[in-house]
Homo-oligomer: A and B are copies of this chain.
Amino acid sequence: MSITIAELARRCGVSTATVSLVLNRKDQGRVSPAQRQRILRLADRHGYRSNVAAKGLVEGRTYRVAVVVEGALAHHALIGQFSFYERLGLLADQLRDRGYLMEICQVDPARPAAAIARDLARASAEGFILLAWPGPAATRLLTALRQQRLPAIACGSTLATATLSWVDVDRRASVRTAVRHLVGLGHRELAFLDLSVRPSLFAPVRTRAFLDAVREQLGVDGRPWVFASATAALADAVATGERALRALPRARAFLLADNLHGELFLHLLALAGRPPGRACHVLGFGDTVLAQRCRPALAHYSLQNEAQVRFCLATLFQARTGAVAAPPPQHELLPPLFIAGGTCPAAPPG
């Protein structure tokens, strides 16, 4: 245990109130600059750290924020959602910066939302962040938490309602922008590859967005350009990629529904004599970490993990005092963000 306020007060010959005020920057002209300096210097010398328990006790707060995870923590690595961990790491750091502690709650999404919410309430957290939940499940759980008057927000889910808090990247707009990007580079034939691990939450959304964008921007039916693997097996991803290359021998523009198997597909392209970035253009979507593992790095539209996390915390902490408050519901659909890479140049202006 570090030095206490009482001890600091004793050594400075002042009262605990004075020390507390100075340490919390609440001494608006109430404490003489001299005292102020002495107290701060002594605190620093002894490495003073406020006792969270005491502080929390007197303030009636827990300084905890729970991050609610669907199923096991390791599950998201298996389904290739690496950005899940990036967001978790960002949350851990940024919450610590605010003096909060991150609590990880792994819950069984099959249970009724009300039961989950009741259990979560026992975590005595001041706020809840639902990380990467499917939209419907997120909606149910957020609603149940709201009934218990617990501030909560979904991070990485697009909900159909404006009465709950959530943030996500706009997948539809990203696909649409990516199509415009490739069309702007002169391509008139695009291949769309959905090689992500099944069952994917977003596969139908992405495919639909692609077909709409193709219809709108090229005036044709894009269905012959869509190639989706039917299973989660790597072998199936390989087969699907090869099938696409055989089916569209003249295609020089490729859109990946997810960066997950990007490295694999770039490899297939190279084998097929269409080296990415030189003989053809490839655009991905998803985790930047995955994209940058590719050679060349995969140009893609981003998940914007940092922006998502920032929005979550800003919403949860929007009360003036830095305390978690029950905020009015807020949501945001982040616009497409291009991340450069060797597989495709930026879109031409206009």
- Knowing A54-B57, A85-B74, A89-B74 are in contact, say whether A124-B267 is a contact too (CB < 8 A): no
B-side contacts of A233, CB under 8 Å: 263, 295
Q: Does chain B have a CB within 8 A of A203?
A: no
Q: Which residue of B lies closest to A234 (CB)?
A: B263
Distance in angstroms from A243 CB to nearest chain B CB is 16
A137 interface hit (Cβ, 8 Å): no
Measured CB to CB, the closest approach of chain B to A268, in angstroms, equals: 10
Residue of B nearest to A89 (CB): B73
| A88 is an interface residue with CB less than 8 A from chain B | yes
Q: Given the complex of chains A and B, what is the CA–CA distance between A85 and B78 in angstroms?
A: 10
Shortest A298–chain B CB gap in Å is 12
Residues in chain B near residue A235, CB distance under 8 A:
263, 267, 270, 295
- B-facing mask of A246-285, CB < 8 A → 1, else 0? 0000000000000000011001001000000000000000
In the bound complex, what is the Cα–Cα distance between A102 and B319 (angstroms)?
Answer: 26
A78 touches B289 (CB 8 A): yes
**A51: which B residues are within 8 A, CB to CB?**
57
Cβ of A3 < 8 Å from any Cβ of B? Answer: no
A11 in the interface, Cβ–Cβ < 8 Å? no
Which chain A residues (49-81) contact chain B, with CB distance < 8 Å?
Answer: 49, 51-54, 56-57, 60, 62, 64, 72-74, 76-78
Residue A120 is within 8 A (CB to CB) of chain B in the complex:
no
A104 at the interface (CB under 8 A from B): yes
A residues 118-165 touching B (CB-CB < 8 Å) = 122, 124
A-side interface residues toward B, CB under 8 Å? 1, 47, 49, 51-54, 56-57, 60, 62, 64, 72-74, 76-78, 82-83, 85-86, 88-89, 92-93, 96, 101-104, 106, 122, 124, 232-235, 238, 263-264, 267, 270, 289-290, 293, 295
